[in-house]
C-alpha cells in the first residue's frame, strides 16, 4: 500500500523506541517520504520546515509497527461464533475470506502492521492459501485496508495434525494431501505455485490431535519427508516453518534445516541446546495456552481430553519458554490466534514474555526487530531507521513502564503503514 506522493511529511513524538534495544530517545522527529523513512532525528531543537505537514504525537511513544508471526486469520473466532465446531464445517470459503479480512483489519487497528498467516483448512478439505494470497495482494494494491500479509501453506500428510483435527467423515481433497518424499515435493510445488510465501510442516501433533507427549512417539512425518519439504521450499527461495510440540520434532526440524520453530511445548536438554546453537528463531505462541482460554473452552463444552491436554501443555510451554530464554534461544512473537484468544488482543503475548523473564524492551523486540529478522525482512522492517519502510505506531504512554499498554486498542493512537496513516485516533 505504497504512498501516492513523495512529498515528505513529519511525525513528532514524545519518545522513540526504535526496536534496536537501546534506551528510548526524547522528542523524535521522523521524516517520511513516500513509503520510506527518510530521516530520524531527535531533540527539541529539531524543527520541520515551515509549512510542512506535521503529525503531532508528542504525548506518545513512537515505535515500529508490531508483527505477529503465527496466526490463522480464516479461523472462526470466539468473538464471532458461539459454536466453533459448527463454524469449522459450515462456513464457505467466501465466508472464511470475509472473516480473514475482518480479522486482519482488527489487527491493523491494534497496531499490527505485518502478519504471517499459517493457513487453514476449508470445509472442502483443502488449504486456504489461494484465498489468503488474494487478500494479501488486495491489501498490497490498496483495495482494502489491512496489515502486510505473508501467506503460508500447510503441507498436509495423511493423519497429521491438521488432518486429524477434521471430523472423520470430512471429505478430504486428496490432491491436497501427500505421503512420501516425492508426493511431498509435488504438494510443496503446488502450494508455492498457488501463491504461498512460505511452507509449513506439521512435524508433530498438536493440542487437539494427540494424546501422548513422549519424544519417542509423537511425530507426524518422517525425516525423509521433512527433508524433501525443506529442499523444495529452499529451492524456490522460500522459508519453511515447522510446527513442533515435542523434543523429537524440534530435533528433526533442525536436522532438516527449517527456518523457524513454531511453539515451545515439550523440550529435553538436547533440543534446547541444539535450538540455541542453531541460531534459528522460536515462535512460542503462549497466549493460546492461558488459563482464561482454557476456561472459555470449558464453558463452550470442549471435550475433557482437550481441556486436560491444554492444561498440561500450558504448564510445560511456560517452563520451556523459560528454558529457551535461559539458553539464549532467539524469540520472535507469535500468538497462534485462531478460535481463541480474540483477534486484536495479540499484544497480550508480550506481557506473558515479561512475566517469564524478558525485559519489556526485549519483549517489544520480539514483535519488531526479531520478528523481521526471523522472516528475512530486517533490511526493510522491524526498526525505525532511515531507509526502512515507514511502519510505525504511536502509543499513549510508555510501554517500557507497562507492556500492557500495547494491548489496549485505545492507546494505539496512530498506525502508519507503508508511509500512510492507516489508523488515526489522535483526535
Q: Which helix (H) or strand (E) holds 37?
A: strand 36-42
- Condensed to tens digits (0 to 9), the pLDDT of residues 260-279 reads 999 999 999 999 999 999 99
Nearest to 391 by CA among 66, 138, 13: 66
For CA atoms 286, 291, 296, 298, the dihedral sign is positive
Look at residue 212 in the predicted model and tell me its pLDDT. 52
256 contacts: CB under 8 Å, gap ≥ 6: 223, 226, 227, 229, 230, 240, 242
Q: Let me know: does 263 contact 283? Beta carbons within 8 Å.
A: yes
Look at residue 176 in the predicted model and tell me its pLDDT. 79
Which whole-number Å values give the CA distances from 84 to 104, 171, 338, in the listed order? 19, 19, 10
Relative to beta strand 36-42, strand 420-424 is unpaired
Nearest to 123 by CA among 86, 177, 72, 78: 86
Q: How far apart are CA 219 and CA 130, in angstroms?
A: 28
**Can the peptide bond before residue 194 be classed as cis, meaning omega within 30 degrees of 0?**
no
Any idea which residue has 536436522 for its cell? 255
Domains and CATH numbers, the chain: 9-64+382-424 (2.30.40.10), 66-374 (3.20.20.140)
- Condensed to tens digits (0 to 9), the pLDDT of residues 189-239 reads 999 999 999 999 999 977 655 445 444 457 889 999 999 999 999 999 999
365 contacts: CB under 8 Å, gap ≥ 6: 19, 21
pTM above 0.75, yes or no: yes
Residue ranges in the chain whose pLDDT is less than 50: 1-4, 210-211, 213-216
Nearest to 240 by CA among 66, 67, 375, 381: 375
Look at residue 1 in the predicted model and tell me its pLDDT. 45
Which whole-number Å values give the CA distances from 137 to 129, 131, 358, in the listed order? 12, 10, 35
Look at residue 215 in the predicted model and tell me its pLDDT. 45
Amino acid at each position: 500500500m505504497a504512498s501516492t506522493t513523495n512529498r515528505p511529511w513529519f511525525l513528532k513524538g514524545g519518545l522513540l523506541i526504535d526496536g534496536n534495544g537501546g534506551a528510548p530517545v526524547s522528542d523524535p522527529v521522523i521524516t517520511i517520504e513516500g513509503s520510506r523513512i527518510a530521516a530520524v532525528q531527535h531533540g527539541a531543537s529539531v524543527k520541520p520546515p515551515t509549512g510542512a505537514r506535521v503529525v503531532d504525537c508528542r504525548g506518545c511513544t513512537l515505535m515500529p509497527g508490531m508483527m505477529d508471526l503465527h496466526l490463522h486469520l480464516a479461523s472462526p473466532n470466539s468473538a464471532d461464533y458461539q459454536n466453533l465446531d459448527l463454524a469449522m464445517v459450515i462456513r464457505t470459503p467466501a465466508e472464511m475470506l470475509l472473516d480473514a479480512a475482518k480479522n486482519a483489519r482488527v489487527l491493523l487497528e491494534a497496531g499490527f502492521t505485518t502478519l504471517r498467516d499459517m493457513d487453514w483448512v476449508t470445509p472442502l478439505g483443502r488449504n486456504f492459501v489461494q484465498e489468503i494470497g488474494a487478500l494479501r495482494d488486495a491489501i498490497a494494491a490498496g483495495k482494502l485496508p489491512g496489515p502486510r500479509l505473508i501467506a503460508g501453506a500447510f503441507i498436509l500428510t495423511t493423519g497429521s495434525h491438521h488432518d486429524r483435527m477434521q471430523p472423520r467423515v470430512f471429505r478430504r481433497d486428496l490432491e491436497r494431501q501427500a505421503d512420501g518424499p516425492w508426493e511431498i515435493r509435488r504438494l510443496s510445488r503446488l502450494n508455492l505455485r498457488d501463491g504461498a510465501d512460505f511452507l509449513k510442516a506439521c512435524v508433530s501433533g498438536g493440542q487437539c490431535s494427540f494424546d501422548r507427549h513422549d519424544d519417542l512417539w509423537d511425530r507426524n512425518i518422517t525425516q525423509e519427508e521433512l527433508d524433501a519439504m525443506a529442499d523444495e521450499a529452499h529451492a524456490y527461495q522460500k522459508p519453511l516453518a515447522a510446527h513442533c510440540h515435542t523434543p523429537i520434532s524440534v530435533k528433526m526440524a533442525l536436522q532438516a534445516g527449517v527456518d523457524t520453530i513454531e511453539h515451545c511445548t515439550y523440550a529435553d536438554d538436547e533440543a534446547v541446546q541444539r535450538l540455541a546453537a542453531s541460531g534459528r528463531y522460536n515462535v512460542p505462541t503462549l497466549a493460546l495456552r492461558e488459563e482464561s482460554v482454557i476456561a472459555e473452552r470449558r464453558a463452550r463444552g470442549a471435550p475433557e481430553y482437550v481441556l486436560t491436554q491444554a492444561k498440561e501443555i500450558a504448564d510445560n510451554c511456560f517452563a520451556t519458554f523459560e528454558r529457551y530464554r535461559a539458553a539464549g534461544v532467539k524469540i520472535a512473537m507469535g500468538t497462534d490466534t485462531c478460535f481463541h484468544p480474540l483477534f486484536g488482543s495479540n499484544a497480550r503475548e508480550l506481557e506473558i514474555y515479561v512475566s517469564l523473564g524478558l525485559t519489556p524492551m526485549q519483549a517489544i523486540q520480539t514483535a519488531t526487530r526479531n520478528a523481521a529478522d526471523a522472516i528475512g525482512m530486517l533490511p526493510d522492517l522491524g526498526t525505525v531507521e532511515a531507509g526502512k519502510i515507514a511502519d510505525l505506531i504511536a502509543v499513549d504512554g510508555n510501554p517500557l513502564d507497562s507492556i500492557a499498554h500495547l494491548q489496549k486498542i485505545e492507546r494505539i493512537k496512530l498506525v502508519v503503514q507503508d508511509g500512510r496513516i492507516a489508523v488515526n485516533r489522535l483526535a
